[in-house]
């Protein structure tokens, strides 16, 4: 039998006994529905973690982005600007509304390049387009440069809506995310830093925003004894059972962030000794939750290194993944405008997401670094 009986996954859920007790208690309460006391409790907890006044728990991060953009008034044919280096779920909701995503490249922080954003807005406006929102993304937990982004958003009078699906538990050095954006979307999908198996939340300081989204997410039911609807609705509310899991997971978030950051530090330290590979750093303006640790290989050394490392890890029962393929290269977005510097393509070519799960043991981390090191040594010789 091989030594790798258990696969080391990229970012599997971490479920504690207290999580199981919380779900059991919610089931016993009888509230097995998209209403119940655990939902408001979960919303309050996430709000206090993220520094927002109001939250609405939804079925996914994607649905939070969808209804968030709807509230911001995105119309068919409008442009919504986002980062090219992200998961497609950032941009799909733009398409749900019949609008057009426009992609802006990233800077050294791997997040939206602020200078490029400014020139993209000018160019799009010159060609007569209406830009109805900007969606910065906090890639792999690294907060975007919100202080600079909000300057630009104010100057051009375009609302900022944060895709913080990957950055629950990350912090800005100056102020809260709520100081800079109209709203933010977070995700509790199975591989995110905490999970409800599937779920998301829209966060905002604006009461009207949260009330509208809550209304739409529950099929736009009017307050009447019968089912009365004045508007199109969505079945996007989170289940009470999953909210109970979410509260329990959220109470563990500070400890989980500490663990994820320690995994990233361990990789960084191990790779420092061999050179030719860096690990994503915190930006000057904030602290990442280190949701995923991402290695960036020195491309000059060998263009095939990320692939070779990934295959070597896979053959040893360790899951690693290429980073998000930039959206400007995705067939589904081929007709979207893109403002590029080459940075996202470069990171895509050199990056690899390494196992970062909360429950990883020291031994598992050591096995990952050992395999990475051995591939680098082998390729150095070839």
Contacts with ligand PLP by CB under 6 A lie at 60-62, 86-87, 89-90, 137, 163, 165-166, 187, 189, 200
Is residue 266 within 8 Å of residue 343, measured between CB atoms?
no
Q: What minimum distance in Å lies between the beta carbon of 61 and ligand PLP? A: 3
Question: Three-state SS for 121?
Answer: helix
Nearer to ligand PLP, 91 or 121 (CB): 91
Per-residue tokens: 274: 């061999």
Nearer to ligand PLP, 192 or 371 (CB): 192
Q: What minimum distance in Å lies between the beta carbon of 230 and ligand PLP? A: 27
Where do the H-state alpha helices sit in 184-336? Answer: 207-217, 240-251, 253-274, 305-314
Is residue 257 within 8 Å of residue 290, measured between CB atoms?
yes
Nearer to ligand PLP, 201 or 263 (CB): 201
Residue 267, CA distances (Å) to 93, 142, 303, 309, 336 in order: 35, 17, 21, 14, 37
Q: What minimum distance in Å lies between the beta carbon of 84 and ligand PLP? A: 12
The gap between the terminal CA atoms of the chain, to the nearest Å, is: 31
Written in H, E and C, the secondary structure of 156-188 is HCCCEEEECCCCCCCEECCCCHHHCCCEEEEEC
Nearer to ligand PLP, 82 or 153 (CB): 82
Nearer to ligand PLP, 253 or 379 (CB): 253
Nearer to ligand PLP, 29 or 330 (CB): 330
Instruction: Tell me the C-alpha distance between 175 and 173, whole Å.
Output: 7
Nearer to ligand PLP, 62 or 239 (CB): 62
Is residue 247 within 8 Å of residue 41, measured between CB atoms?
yes
Nearer to ligand PLP, 164 or 369 (CB): 164
Q: What minimum distance in Å lies between the beta carbon of 92 and ligand PLP? A: 9
131-135 vs 79-83, strand pairing mode: parallel
Q: What minimum distance in Å lies between the beta carbon of 326 and ligand PLP? A: 13
Q: What minimum distance in Å lies between the beta carbon of 161 and ligand PLP? A: 12
Residue nearest to ligand PLP (CB): 61
Q: What minimum distance in Å lies between the beta carbon of 198 and ligand PLP? A: 6
Instruction: Tell me the C-alpha distance between 244 and 240, whole Å.
Output: 6
Q: What minimum distance in Å lies between the beta carbon of 89 and ligand PLP? A: 4
State the CB neighbour count (10 A cutoff) for residue 106.
Answer: 24
Q: Which residues contact 142 (CB under 8 A, 6 or more apart)?
A: 109, 110, 111, 167, 170, 280, 282, 283, 286, 288
């Amino acid at each position: 039998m091989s030594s790798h009986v258990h696969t080391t996954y990229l970012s599997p859920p971490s479920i504690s006994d207290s999580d199981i007790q919380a779900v059991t208690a919610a089931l016993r309460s009888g509230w097995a529905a998209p209403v119940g006391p655990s939902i408001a409790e979960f919303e309050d907890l996430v709000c206090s973690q993220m520094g927002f006044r109001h939250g609405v728990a939804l079925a996914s991060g994607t649905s939070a982005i969808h209804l968030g953009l709807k509230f911001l008034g995105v119309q068919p044919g409008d442009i919504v600007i986002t980062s090219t280096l992200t998961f497609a779920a950032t941009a799909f909701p733009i398409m749900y509304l019949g609008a057009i995503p426009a992609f802006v490249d990233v800077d050294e922080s791997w997040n939206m390049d602020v200078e490029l954003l400014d020139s993209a807005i000018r160019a799009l406006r010159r060609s007569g387009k209406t830009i109805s929102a900007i969606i910065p993304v906090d890639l792999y937990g690294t907060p975007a440069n919100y202080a600079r982004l909000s300057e630009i958003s104010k100057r051009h009078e375009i609302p900022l809506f944060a895709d913080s699906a990957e950055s629950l538990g990350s912090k800005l050095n100056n102020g809260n995310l709520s100081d800079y954006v109209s709203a933010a979307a977070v995700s509790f999908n199975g591989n995110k830093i905490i999970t409800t198996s599937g779920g998301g939340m829209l966060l905002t300081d604006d009461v009207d925003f949260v009330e509208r989204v809550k209304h739409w997410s529950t099929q736009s039911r009017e307050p009447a004894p019968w089912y009365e609807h004045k508007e199109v609705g969505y079945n996007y509310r989170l289940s009470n059972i999953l909210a109970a899991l979410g509260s329990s997971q959220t109470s563990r978030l500070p400890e989980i962030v500490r663990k994820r950051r320690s995994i990233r530090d361990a990789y960084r330290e191990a790779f420092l000794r061999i050179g030719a590979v860096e690990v994503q750093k915190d930006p000057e303006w904030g602290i990442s939750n280190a949701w995923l640790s991402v290695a960036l290989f020195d491309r000059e050394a060998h263009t095939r290194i990320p692939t070779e490392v990934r295959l070597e890890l896979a053959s040893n029962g360790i899951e690693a993944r290429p980073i998000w393929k930039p959206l400007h290269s995705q067939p589904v977005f081929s007709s979207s405008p893109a403002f590029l510097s080459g940075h996202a393509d470069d990171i895509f070519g050199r990056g690899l997401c390494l196992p970062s799960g909360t429950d990883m043991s020291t031994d598992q981390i050591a096995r990952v670094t050992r395999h990475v090191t051995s591939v680098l040594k082998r390729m150095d010789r070839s």
